[in-house]
Amino acid sequence: MKIGIDASRAFIKNRTGIEEYSFQVINHLKKELAGLEVVLYTRPKTDDSVKKFKLPAKWKVREIKWPRFWTQFGLSLEMILHPVDVLFIPAHTVPIIHPSGWLMKLCDHLRGRKRRFKTVVTIHGLEYEFLPEAYSLWERIYMRTVIKKSCQWADKIISVSQNTKKDLVRLYKIPAHKIEVIYEGYFFEKSEQKTAGRKRRILKKYQLENLKYLLFLGRIEERKNLIRIIKAFEILKEKHQIEHKLLLAGGLGYGYNKIVKYIEGSFCKKDIYLSGFVEDREKREILKNADVFLFPTLYEGFGLPIIEAQSLGVPIVASNNSSIPEIIGTKIKPYLVDPQNPEEIADSVFKILNNKKVRERLVKPGLENVKRFSWDDCAVKIAEVLRG
């Protein structure tokens, strides 16, 4: 069996979300698919990390040099020239020419070949359907078309949550039996310098040394509900005079200019920090030292930062919508908030800051909850789908 994997998102700098998923899944599949022939498809000018990526003996990297529309033209052409039995797409975009498509079957018939065909795709969420205002018109049209077609073309769909599976069945009429729910895992880069000095250096870099702070970690964009997070912070400052800072950590996304403009007009602007992207080796310290992790976003297909925060014993104020109640754990559901209500967000944060028992009721179940998630388990289940 020959398996092809789209690795175009896995080896880039400043990985977040889907990119991190692609990298971790491929990295952990090395163990599960070590004895099989596997081809990783990458784009030109891929990050140098691909060169340091240790491959099993039968694995190889193939750089597809195609300037634009890489998936639909470059990867499609690769399927014709060097066909595979199974194609795995970790990030929702199946090429128009793929192993289980009619053209590939015709090509194999003409070549006198008989192979098992399978196309597998991971769908991470349908945010654009629920929050159209957070995407440009072109993005909405493109995402809706691509994901619908990818679901139709794929033999098997991997969904990262039960909620996303329900969305696919309800909105796109995808048969439920075609969708396999496989949860993501979480990972923190190990450091050889687990010292107080390292912690100080990182906190000093982000202007947080000796300060108490609330944290949001994710892309700085409209759908992350950041303006209401800031409004909740303003309420906490005005109503309860908390001494905390607010750190908004992450790369810039769609609509970030509105968020920056709101911060500039806020009476709390001196207490609000925009850090930019946080590297993996620093993320652990930034998370671990936060008093509360804020994640009252408007829609999540999975919500990886939730389990990252829980694994470090950080209490969370998160939304009561989409996949978040499913991922955060049953014992914490009563503490979830309406993301449209800054007052409710602020009240929940203050209860955590002001009451150790409330904090404990969030932290202990969180540490237990994260045992449900690991990249090893994720890779084992994906490998079963690919081989099956």
Helix (H, G, I), strand (E, B), or coil: what is residue 216?
A: strand
| Average pLDDT value for residue range 96-115 | 69
| Average pLDDT value for residue range 36-40 | 97
pLDDT at 282: 87
Q: Name, in order, each residue with C-beta under 8 angstroms of 335's C-beta and a sequence gap of 6 or more.
A: 317, 348, 358, 361, 362
Helix (H, G, I), strand (E, B), or coil: what is residue 127?
A: helix
| Average pLDDT value for residue range 314-342 | 93
The Cα 352–Cα 344 span in angstroms is 13
Mean pLDDT of the chain: 91
Nearest to 35 by CA among 56, 12, 7: 56
Same domain, 87 and 179: yes
Same domain, 223 and 314: yes
Q: Is the pLDDT of residue 276 over 70?
A: yes
pLDDT at 154: 95
Same domain, 22 and 160: yes
Backbone angles phi, psi at 220, to 5 degrees: -85, 90
Answer with the residue of higher pLDDT: 196 or 69.
69
Same domain, 230 and 333: yes
Same domain, 13 and 158: yes
CB 301 within 8 A of CB 124: yes
In the block, tokens 């060169």 appear at: 51
Indicate the DSSP class of residue 70: I
Residue 190 resides in a domain: no
Q: Is the pLDDT of residue 192 over 50?
A: no
Answer with the residue of higher pLDDT: 13 or 294.
294
Residue 157 resides in a domain: yes
Same domain, 155 and 56: yes
CB burial of residue 382 (10 Å; 0-12, 13-18, 19+): buried
Please report, for the domain that includes residue 98, its CATH number: 3.40.50.2000
Q: Is the pLDDT of residue 109 over 80?
A: no
Nearest to 39 by CA among 87, 74, 73, 98: 87
pLDDT at 48: 63
Tell me the per-residue pLDDT of 40-77, one tens digit each, with 9 for 90 and over. 999 887 666 677 788 999 999 999 988 788 999 999 99
Same domain, 207 and 355: yes
Answer with the residue of higher pLDDT: 223 or 46.
223
Range scoring the smallest mean pLDDT among 107-121, 243-257, 332-346: 107-121
Same domain, 63 and 84: yes
Residue 145 resides in a domain: yes
Same domain, 261 and 209: yes
| Strand order across the beta sheet in which 156-159 lies | 59-63, 37-42, 2-6, 86-89, 118-123, 156-159, 179-181
Q: What range defines the domain where residue 144 resides?
A: 2-185+374-387
| Average pLDDT value for residue range 335-354 | 96
Tell me the per-residue pLDDT of 152-189, one tens digit each, with 9 for 90 and over. 999 999 999 999 999 999 999 999 999 999 999 998 76
Measured CA to CA in angstroms, residue 9 lies from 91, 138, 229 at distances of 8, 21, 30
Residue 254 resides in a domain: yes
Number of domain units in the chain: 2
Residue 191 resides in a domain: no
Range scoring the smallest mean pLDDT among 40-54, 98-112, 290-304: 98-112
| Average pLDDT value for residue range 328-337 | 87
Tokens of 315: 């209490």
pLDDT at 204: 84
Residue 25 resides in a domain: yes
Residue 36 resides in a domain: yes
